[in-house]
Amino acid sequence: GQNIDQPTEMTATEGAIVQINCTYQTSGFNGLFWYQQHAGEAPTFLSYNVLDGLEEKGRFSSFLSRSKGYSYLLLKELQMKDSASYLCAVRRTSGTYKYIFGTGTRLKVLA
Amino acid sequence: EPEVTQTPSHQVTQMGQEVILRCVPISNHLYFYWYRQILGQKVEFLVSFYNNEISEKSEIFDDQFSVERPDGSNFTLKIRSTKLEDSAMYFCASLRDPTYNEQFFGPGTRLTVL
């Protein structure tokens, strides 16, 4: 089966660092994706990992351990505009490329 | 910058009516998707489409749902007889090919079934 788990909600302070964890179980793993979603809007792509290790992209970094079925998204120098939901998604191959989303983590950034 | 577009942005319909949600994916993309997101819940995969046919569909995508790519640019989702529980945001997304990582989402259509 497929299972993706993330914390439901997190709170952090402006300027701080926050780490959002994601664990997954799936067959045909073909990449781990992080998306940002503001309320009422579409998800927007943040990062992608297919090999183990850390990918850095400005204030955002994402880490993957395939053997542990684990990823995290690290957000540095938090800004108020980072208040949003962060969605972990696994892409798997089974004849096609299918994206399975976690429930998302709602991040509140406080002044 | 190319983008995925969707129309309408909002659709209100009566239970039992048919609705067609429209999407224009990015022109050189090959893989197309429909997702549903009920308010406060996760993004759920409905169907993927490649090479002019459905490549995979979820258990949600029952006989009431169908997809078409009628003219090489539009990609439509039809719900034949809407139910109250079909009320949700429907997102279309496209992917150029798997060597490109980013799946681009349209802005969504908010469907309300009364």
Please give the average pLDDT of every successive group of 10 residues along chain A, which has 111 residues. Answer: 90 97 93 96 94 95 97 98 97 86 96 94
Residue A100: both structure tokens together: 């399975």
pLDDT at B1: 79
d(CA A75, CA A61): 7
Residue A73, number of CB atoms within 10 A of its CB: 26
Q: What confidence tens digit (pLDDT) does each residue in B54-69 have?
A: 999 999 999 999 999 9
Residue B102's pLDDT is what? 85
What pLDDT score was predicted for residue B54? Answer: 94
Residues A92, A100 contacting (CB under 8 angstroms): yes
Among A45, A96, A101, A105, most B C-beta atoms within 10 A, so best to mutate, is A96
Average pLDDT, chain B: 94
The answer to whether A30 contacts B101, with C-beta atoms less than 8 Å apart, is: no
Q: Chain A residues within 8 A (CB-CB) of chain B? A: 30-31, 33, 37, 41-45, 48, 87, 89, 91, 93-104
Out of A41, A44, A98, closest to residue B48 by CB: A98
Rg of the Cα atoms in chain B: 13
Please state, in angstroms and rounded to a whole number, the distance separating the CA atoms of residues A105 and A21: 9
pLDDT at residue B101 above 80? no
Percentage of residues in chain B with pLDDT exceeding 90? 86
Which amino acid, residue B71? Answer: D
Report residue B70's pLDDT band, with 50, 70 and 90 as the boundaries.
Answer: confident
Q: What digits encode the pLDDT tens for the residues B7-32?
A: 999 999 999 999 999 999 999 899 99
A&B contacts, CB < 8 Å: 56
Position B2 confidence tier, pLDDT thresholds 50, 70, 90:
confident
What letter does residue A71 receive in the DSSP assignment? E
Residue A1: the pLDDT is 62
- A26's CB contacts (< 8 A; 6+ apart) are A2, A3, A4, A90, A92, A100
